[in-house]
Structure 1
Amino acid sequence: MEHLKESAQKVQMKLMELGYTHQVVELPDSTRTAQEAADAIGQASSCSRKWNQPSE
Structure 2
Amino acid sequence: MKSETAAAAVKQMNPNIRVNPHQNRVGPETEKVYDDDFFEALDGVANALDNVDA
TM-score, normalization by structure 1: 0.45
TM-score, normalization by structure 2: 0.45
Q: Which has the higher helix share?
A: 1
Highest Rg: 1 or 2?
2
- Tell which has more relative contact order, 1 or 2 (C-alpha 8 A, sep 6+): 2
